[in-house]
Each structure stands twice: as C-alpha cells, then as structure tokens.
Structure 1
Amino acid sequence: MSSHYQPTIVSPFISKHLVTPLEMFLLEQMFEVETSDDGCSLYLFAEEHIQSTIDATDPDFVKNYLTDESPLGIRFQADYLSAGSSDEFDLTTISYTDVFQAIITRHSAELPYVSLEKAYTCTRMEPGQFGGRAEFITATDVHHVDTGEWLNDKINEIKSVLKNKV
C-alpha cells in the first residue's frame, strides 16, 4: 500500500493582526505554523498535507470559537453540531480557501491575495500520483493550475492534431 503526500507552502507570510481568533484556530489546525522572527507574521505550511480534522479538546474551545458570529463562524458551528459535538471532527463546509478569503475580504489593502504551492508525491511509483498544483486566492476567486490537468490537456491536444492528420 502506498502513502500519498501533498506538502504545501503558503505565501506571503500573514500578519497576525489580520487574523481573528477563530481563523487562527482553524489555520493552526489545518497547517503547521511558524512565527516570523519579529513575532508579527505567520508562515503557514504542511509537510504532509493540509488537515481537515479539528481537535475540539481545547478547554476554551466552546467559549472562544463557537461564539463567533461571522459567516465563517456560523459555518464552523454548523460543522461542529453536525459532527455530534465530538472532541474531534472533520470540517465539511469550510476549507482553507474560506479562511483565507475571510481574511482577504477584511484586509484586501494589506493582503490582496494568498498563494499556495503544492507537490503531489507518493511512496510508490504510480502513474498520476505525482505532480503539483498552484492556487491563487483572492477575496472573490480561487484560481488554480494542476500539472496533471495541464499534462492531460496537452496530451489530448496532440492526439487531436494527430487524429486530424490521418
């Protein structure tokens, strides 16, 4: 059996003062987080893959995160309640793009976009299990390019050209 990985880096560093407590909690659950040397910015990355499982065992969890009345907070509460209020649950309606878009929407002058670069790797040499992806997130859009999709498009283009020559 093979293991699949999606190491990811997020750019640019995000100023801490732009992030609400709920957003910080979600980002810390989804990504690995390092603070800049001056303590003012966050560097987000995932060595293996971006997480979607939330640990709700923090004693201040209910007080700090389930009282957020923002649109993101309401969706987060719905995910928590639909999971049966357990100590660990999967986000079903919120992704990292939603968190970044919430931050960008409030602070577009200081943070007009967030970009992600991902590598797809596998512990076994399997076709279609390697490649990469780039994402460009703004307040209103998420654009991406996937190397596997791009490669398939190019293969189909050449097949079409060769088919028309016959």
Structure 2
Amino acid sequence: MADYFSQTVIQPDVPVAAMTVLERRILGEIFEHEDMGDDVYFFASAGPNDFLFLSVDEAKTLLAESKGVQSCTAELVERELGECEAGTTELEIDVSMFGYEAILQDIVRRSETLDHLQVMMAWTCSKMRPDGFGGMANFITADDIDTMSTTGFLEEALGRLQGEHPPR
C-alpha cells in the first residue's frame, strides 16, 4: 500500500495581529504551526487536515472574541452551530469544500503588513507511482487566489511546444 503526502508550507509567516482568535484556532487545526514571536509559521508535514473538531462552547467563545471582524471562518462556524442539534457538545467541521485559502485571503485583506501569502505544496508518495508526485502553488492576495499545479505547468509547456512544432 502506498502512502500519499501533501507537504505544505505557507510563507511569509502570518502576523498574529492579522488573525482573529477563531482563524488562528482553525488554522492551527488544519496545519501544524510554530510561534515565531509576533508571527505564526504554518506548515503540514504530511498534508493539511480537512476535518477538524471544535467544542461547541469553545466555538461560541471564539466567535464572541472575533465579533465585528468580517471573516468567512466566522460564517462557517456560525453555520455549523446553527445546524447542530440540541445537546451537541462538539462540532465536526469539514473544511475540504471550504478551503483554507479563503481563510488566508481574509487575513491578507485585513493585514496592515501582508500584501500576499504563498502556499507551496509538494505531492509525494512512499512508492514510485506515476500519480504520486507533483506539486502546487497558491499566490493569495486580497483580490485573487492564483493557483498552478506542476501538471498544469507541464500541460501549458506541452501546448506551447505542440503549437511551435505540430505532431508528425
């Protein structure tokens, strides 16, 4: 059996002052992290976590502390709280469809020091499988999230080559 990895780094480090406490908590569940003084370095040794758990009480507290700040993270957690049944003590949040990129973009929008964030991901596999290698990069600004995978790059390069030298 092959193990697939999506090692990820986010650069530059994210200023604590640019994040709400809720965003920092959620990003800390999606990624591993190291405090770097006034900043946080987010990374993933095996891959970002798509599924996280947060107690209902903690979610409510973090929402209250983040009140008044425009944040898609707060909207997601509010929606999850609104959908949970009475007596539920823990939220199960699937961020795979939501995406950490939107959280990072909110942070860039509000930051006084960041004009972008870069997410670099290396796709590797424990066996030499053709589908187990590659990578991706995201360039996140306040207005855009630009993404390119190594497969996309190679397809573009092949298209340029074939345009210059048609197949025989």
User: For the superposition of Structure 1 and Structure 2, which TM-score range results when normalised by the shorter chain?
Assistant: 0.7 to 0.9
CA deviation string 1:70-100 (max 9, x = no partner): 3411233224555765443312553111111
Unaligned runs of 5+ in 2: none
1:105 aligns with 2:109: yes
Unaligned runs of 5+ in 1: none
Distance 2:31 2:53 in 1: 13
3-state SS of 2:55 partner: coil
Query: 1:140 deviation in Å?
Result: 1.4
Task: Indicate which of 146, 151, 163 corresponds to 2:149.
Answer: 146
The answer for the alignment partner of 1:128 in structure 2 is: 131
The answer for the alignment partner of 1:46 in structure 2 is: 44
Structure 1 pair 139–68 and aligned structure 2 pair: CA distance change class (3 A): same
The two structures have a TM-score, normalised by structure 2, of 0.82
Distance 2:154 2:96 in 1: 30
Q: What is the CA RMSD across the aligned residues, in angstroms?
A: 2.5
Distance 2:110 2:61 in 1: 23
Query: 1:52 deviation in Å?
Result: 1.6
- Amino acid across the alignment from 1:5: F
The two structures have a TM-score, normalised by structure 1, of 0.82
Structure 1 pair 95–82 and aligned structure 2 pair: CA distance change class (3 A): farther
Question: Would the aligned equivalents of 1:66 and 1:77 in 2 still touch at CA under 8 Å?
Answer: no
1:95 aligns with 2:99: yes
The share of aligned pairs that are identical, in percent, is 23
